[in-house]
Amino acid sequence: MAARSGSGIIAAMNEILRAAFTPWLIAALTLLFACGLIVLGRRSAGLRKITALVGGSFLAILGLAMLSGATAMAVRDRALERLRPVDGKLVDVGGYRAFVQCKGQSGGLTLVLLSGGYSTGSWMKPLQERLQSRYRTCIIDRPGTGWADDGPLPRTVDTILAEIRMAIRGAGETMPLVLIGHSMGGLYAANYADAYPGDVKGIVLLDPTPPLWFLEQSQTFGCGPRTPPWPNVYLTMFGLGLIDRLNPMYRVRDYDAAALYGRDWSTIVDQEARPRSLVAAWSAGREACRAPIDLVRTPGALGQLPVFMMSQAVKSDAEMFREVPAGLNPRQRTNWLRLRRAWQQDYVGYTSRGSFDFAPAGAGHSFPYSHPEETLAKVGPFLALMASENATDD
């Protein structure tokens, strides 16, 4: 009972801390406390007077800075809303809305592109732009990301799958679908096909997150903190995310994202660095790790569903061992390496119609974004086959 009560308190705190009014509330409380210290200092003498006045002055400056930062973030949020593409749709998915942007001629095969992690669908634009001349293509901002509304916590796998389905259907798109997912988007694609097999013609998995990864994380490291990464949340909550050097989105990547996305890049950064986006991404990752039984992960589970999978190029043993968890004995290290090798083609065995290929040489995990042309050169024949089969079925 105590554990449940503690979880309820943490959940309530998470909801309060990501509310729109929270930055101003924290800033106001800081200023109120500062005023109290200053009043106390004026009524005191000696060291107590100095300490109270210095502390009050510091908190007053901090509170004003927080207030200014919160206001700057609110202004940026309003500016982002004005950039929302007019050819997209906000679609109700249970009392809150996802954002769906579909392009290309309708009536044939519909491709749904699911970005990696729990992030804005805009990451998949390089692929969408190259596919929309031949297929109907849709990208989705899931609740908490991009131009979508905030969504309730926790962000469970089943909730996310249901939201994707409601978003596509609510946008008026026709079935069947071919789901193209990168990283965690690949995991969601495979699980969508398992949950709603009648919707799906085939799936393309681009370096997908394997279900056993969560099992390893749980066994080796646990499933992460019970609360979101509040340092980063606070940085963005009070406007420090507007300073490039302090923005958690600006980190070393294996490709030049700014050059690839052009004018969209600053919008993606601003969206991904918002407090609600950081909390949603934390919750989605934690829930998938906490409940591995929710994930499809057994040979034959997807029946005869066509699956095409691409993984990044094979790493050498030396490269792999740089990632090995600390504290393992020699036999455990060997078993860990075997497990990681098996992951590279894990999903192919879930179906009798699985095929596999490697990403372009030298491309890292982000190859769908960094090497879109080369990626689609390998994915293209599979999509053409799905389109042909779909036309025959009609």
pLDDT exceeds cutoff 90 at 199 = yes
* Angle formed at CA 102 by CA 99 and CA 106, multiple of 5 degrees: 140
Q: Which two tokens stand for residue 213?
A: 């990864």
Q: pTM of the predicted model, to two decimals?
A: 0.88
The CATH classification number of 88-213+295-393 equals 3.40.50.1820
C-alpha to C-alpha distances, 135 to 20, 108, 186, 386, nearest whole angstrom = 39, 7, 20, 11
Q: What is the rounded average pLDDT of the residues 161-179?
A: 95
> What is the per-residue pLDDT for 92?
97
pLDDT per residue over 25-55, tens digit each? 999 999 999 999 999 999 999 899 999 999 9
Asked if 165 and 157 touch (Cβ cutoff 8 Å), the reply is: no
How far is 193 from 180, CA to CA, in rounded Å? 11
> What is the per-residue pLDDT for 238?
86
> What is the per-residue pLDDT for 1?
43
Q: DSSP letters of 249-271?
A: T----SS-HHHHHTTHHHHHHHH
Q: DSSP letters of 221-255?
A: T-S--SS--HHHHHHHHTTGGGSGGG-TT----SS
- Angle, helices 157-170 vs 184-195, to 10°: value is 80
- By residue count, the chain amounts to 394
How far is 324 from 373, CA to CA, in rounded Å? 33
- First and final C-alpha spacing in the chain: 56
- For the ranges 131-140, 243-252, 292-301, the lowest mean pLDDT is seen at 243-252
**What are the sequence ranges of the domains in the chain?**
2-81, 88-213+295-393
pLDDT exceeds cutoff 70 at 5 = no
pLDDT per residue over 322-356, tens digit each? 777 777 888 888 887 887 777 777 899 899 999 99
User: Hey, which residues does 353 pair with through a beta bridge?
Assistant: 306
- Find, among 58, 59, 62, 39, the residue nearest to 49 by Cα: 39
Computed over every residue of the chain, the mean pLDDT equals: 87
Q: What is the rounded average pLDDT of the residues 302-323?
A: 83
- For the ranges 104-113, 239-248, 287-296, the lowest mean pLDDT is seen at 239-248
Q: What is the rounded average pLDDT of the residues 151-168?
A: 95
Asked if 275 and 18 touch (Cβ cutoff 8 Å), the reply is: yes
> What is the per-residue pLDDT for 320?
73
Asked if 136 and 110 touch (Cβ cutoff 8 Å), the reply is: yes
CB-based contacts of 229, cutoff 8 Å, min separation 6: 278, 282
> What is the per-residue pLDDT for 158?
95
pLDDT band at 132 (very low <50, low <70, confident <90, very high): very high
Q: What is the rounded average pLDDT of the residues 360-368?
A: 85
Give the full edge-to-edge strand order of the sheet including 136-141: 88-92, 97-103, 136-141, 110-114, 177-182, 200-206, 306-311, 353-358
Asked if 229 and 235 touch (Cβ cutoff 8 Å), the reply is: no
Q: Which two tokens stand for residue 377?
A: 């050169």
pLDDT band at 77 (very low <50, low <70, confident <90, very high): confident
- For the ranges 172-176, 239-243, 246-250, 322-326, the lowest mean pLDDT is seen at 246-250
CB-based contacts of 147, cutoff 8 Å, min separation 6: 80, 81, 84, 85, 88, 90, 99, 141, 271
AA letter at 86: V
- What SS3 string covers 286-318? HHHHHCHHHCCCCCCCCCCCEEEEEECCCCCHH
Q: What is the rounded average pLDDT of the residues 164-188?
A: 95
AA letter at 27: A
Helix (H, G, I), strand (E, B) or coil at 103: strand
Residue 208, Ramachandran bin (φ over 0: left; ψ between -120 and 50: alpha; else beta): beta
126-153 core/surface letters (b: 16 or more CB in 10 A; e: else): bbbeebbebbbbbbbbbbbbbbbbbbeb
